[in-house]
Structure 1
Amino acid sequence: MAQPAPLDIATAFTKAWTSHDVEKAASYVADDVVFDGPMQQSTGKEPYLKGLTKLSEDVTGVRMIAAFGDDHQALLMYDLMTKSSGALSCAKHLTVSDGKIHSDKLTFDSKKLGSAKPRAN
């Protein structure tokens, strides 16, 4: 049976974690996932899911703006509704192989976050 397309994995993953089902979201994530975002950089499933769980607790909704993908990657743009910071416009690039997310690069305006800290270089 063929693996789902990266775009299908990316959208199912996003729907899961924004609906507070981090356990289901975790099923789409590779053990060696690399994350690069404004507030966190990590390697490995455990720290990635720890950050995702914290963010998920603040989410009240999501509105998908656009979603594109090919055989190896997906690019999502969405408005993330949060309790603490209101709406955050986000863009996320995910690479997928063997049905799992191996990298996640997230960008959004971190100045909108009340607890934003400067990114370490």
Structure 2
Amino acid sequence: MKAIKAAALSFVLFSNLALAEVSPLTVVKDYMSAWNAHDAAKAAQYLAPDVVYYDAASGTPVNGKSNAEKEVIGAFIKAVPDLTWKMTSKPVYDHDTIAFRWEFSGKNSGEWAGSPATNNPIKFEGVSYITVNNGKITWQGDYYDSKKLDEELKPKNK
């Protein structure tokens, strides 16, 4: 009987450990690593099915995991296949929401929003606010100087 109780207790403890929620900061860091590995599908694994992705430059939220994977993550990776997205400040967080400054850089060697590649280097800074619930990103808001990015994406005169 003692062996059964011990086995049951071990099962409960290990089950709870397996179900323990991953910290929101870990989720965000792993998500950014997937972006930096240039893997849209892997990055999308960190998104909730009903995620809302708000890019202040476009002003219209992208709703749903598959739309965010295609219209945001995939579009950026296609346009800047060598992209680097890195935190440039210590993240600030309160329970489920994380805010941090970042820098995005790379070379525009792919189509961007229907425009051909310029092969220009790009580098811009911004801030993200990300909410994580049950180990998945449910909301992401990105705020940056889109005018600077637009200037960097303009074809250079030769």
| Matched ranges for 1:76-95 at <5 A | 76-84=100-108, 86-95=122-131
TM-score by length of 1: 0.84
Amino acid at match of 2:73: L
- The alpha carbon displacement at 1:113 in A equals 2.6
CA distance in structure 2 between the aligned counterparts of 1:62 and 1:13, rounded to whole angstroms = 10
CA distance in structure 1 between the aligned counterparts of 2:21 and 2:107, rounded to whole angstroms = 35
5+ residue gaps, structure 1, are 117-121
5+ residue gaps, structure 2, are 1-16, 109-120, 154-158
CA contact (8 A) 2:103 2:126 kept: yes
CA distance in structure 2 between the aligned counterparts of 1:19 and 1:68, rounded to whole angstroms = 24
- The alpha carbon displacement at 1:62 in A equals 2.9
Percent identical across equivalent pairs? 27
- The alpha carbon displacement at 1:10 in A equals 0.8
Which residue is equivalent to 1:23? 41
Which residue is equivalent to 1:111? 147
| Matching residue within 54, 66, 85 for 1:62 | 85
- The alpha carbon displacement at 1:69 in A equals 2.2
CA contact (8 A) 1:79 1:88 kept: yes
Tell me which stretches of 4 or more aligned residues in structure 1 moved more than 3 Å. none
Amino acid at match of 2:84: G
Q: Which moved more, 1:89-98 or 1:14-23?
A: 14-23
Which residue is equivalent to 2:62? 42
- Residue 121 of structure 2 is aligned to residue 72 of structure 1: no
Higher strand share: 1
TM-score by length of 2: 0.66
Higher helix share: 2
- Alignment RMSD, CA only? 1.9
SS of the aligned residue for 2:21 comes to coil
